[in-house]
Amino acid sequence: MNAVEEGDLIVRREGAAGVIRLNRPKAINAMTLEMSEGIDAALDRFEADPEVAVIILEGAGDRGLCAGGDIRGLWESSREGGDLGARFWRQEYIMNARIARYPKPYVAFMDGLVMGGGVGLSGHASHRIVTDRTKLAMPEVGLGFFPDVGGTWLLSRSPGEIGTYFGLTGQTMNGPDAIHAKFADAVVPAAKWPELRGALTRVGPAASPAEVSRLINSFATGDAAGPVAAKQAMIDALFGFDRMEDIVAALKRDGSEFALAALKTLNEKSPRGMVVTLKLLRLARTASSLEECLVREYRAALEVFRSDDFREGVRAAVIDKDRNPTWSPPRIEDVTLEMLAPYLAGIGADELKFN
């Protein structure tokens, strides 16, 4: 083993594997700007090292891979008129795109909680492993935000309206749900991970993606559809609209237990966040690349960072924890096209650019 850093991020080579371990277990490995920069540096190092055949991404502790970004730090910077949002998301989104095109097999172990920024680190990987303990979610609408880190790209490529449902409600996927939604590739019981991990460190120096897939599948359960998959037809009917008002009306008309539960969940979310999310999801359906979606997400994220809704959403969920945000505007029908426009507008010289 060759350890580089023993702080919030542990980077080392173990046999044929370049290991990246998020190491903030008390914060469920929430991502900071410095961690993101460290991952980039690790990817540089491992790409250049001929003895590294495969990358392993994992989280310290037993609670999850990563619960998202350092929301408290972003909230503080937003309140002070700072620029952490611009710097953090630029670094993060460029890294998300890099992970998607990384030249070596990149294995993400998505155990426990995998939320927000954790999805950005794992959902674009070449090999995405979920477990019997996985709880994956993109809950950003509850913070006055939207599913970013390429989330609009991933959600828009889920079957039918499954991505619309998960993106708007922020509901949690289990492992098989994540396979069905195309956020993951294989379910491996958490108890089998140490054995699989050991096998990954012993792959040949030129292991192909197909070889790595075969190795992972030899440990996998084969599960590919969770409880949400059984509701596919209902979700497609209820969430197959381009306006939030129409989705809400469909849920009210349906009146089933599932529809009323979804309606209750939506009523707790930011109206502005839901309208922005739905628009970005629909635009993502015709996007030609992940990068195109990330450019659009970066524009919208900068607008979110300036918004009262983001500060209020984080206050209610993370700071005061009263779970009682006061959204602006308070109703979906009050979100106008004029309010939506700045989230979609170009930002000139500040546009996100990829190497």
Q: Which of 58, 70, 148, 297 is catalytic?
A: 148
* Cα(119)–Cα(110) distance, integer angstroms: 9
* Cα(35)–Cα(114) distance, integer angstroms: 16
Q: Which of 38, 112, 117, 144 is catalytic?
A: 117
Indicate if 117 belongs to the active site: yes
- Site of tokens 């730090």: 73
* Cα(53)–Cα(313) distance, integer angstroms: 42
Tokens of 72: 């408290």
Q: In what order do the strands lie in the sheet with 106-110?
A: 2-6, 9-14, 17-22, 54-59, 106-110, 127-130, 186-187
Q: Which of 58, 140, 185, 303 is catalytic?
A: 140
Q: Which of 59, 68, 69, 116 is catalytic?
A: 69
337, burial (CB in 10 Å: exposed 0-12, middle 13-18, buried 19+): exposed
Indicate if 226 belongs to the active site: no
Selection from 72, 166, 182 nearest residue 124 by Cα: 182
Q: Which conformational region is residue 348 in: left (phi greater than 0), alpha (psi within -120 to 50 degrees), or beta?
A: left
* Cα(294)–Cα(83) distance, integer angstroms: 19
Instruction: Report CA dihedral (255, 258, 259, 262) to the nearest 10 degrees.
Output: 140
Sequence letter at residue 100: A
Tokens of 134: 């996985």
Looking at the DSSP bridge assignments, the partners of residue 20 are 11, 57
Q: How many CA atoms lie within 13 A of 313 on its CB side?
A: 29
Selection from 297, 309, 312, 281 nearest residue 343 by Cα: 297
Indicate if 148 belongs to the active site: yes
Phi, psi angles (nearest 5°) of residue 136: -105, 135
Q: Which conformational region is residue 39 in: left (phi greater than 0), alpha (psi within -120 to 50 degrees), or beta?
A: alpha
Tokens of 217: 């599948």
* Cα(297)–Cα(187) distance, integer angstroms: 29
Q: Which residues form the catalytic set?
A: 69, 117, 140, 148
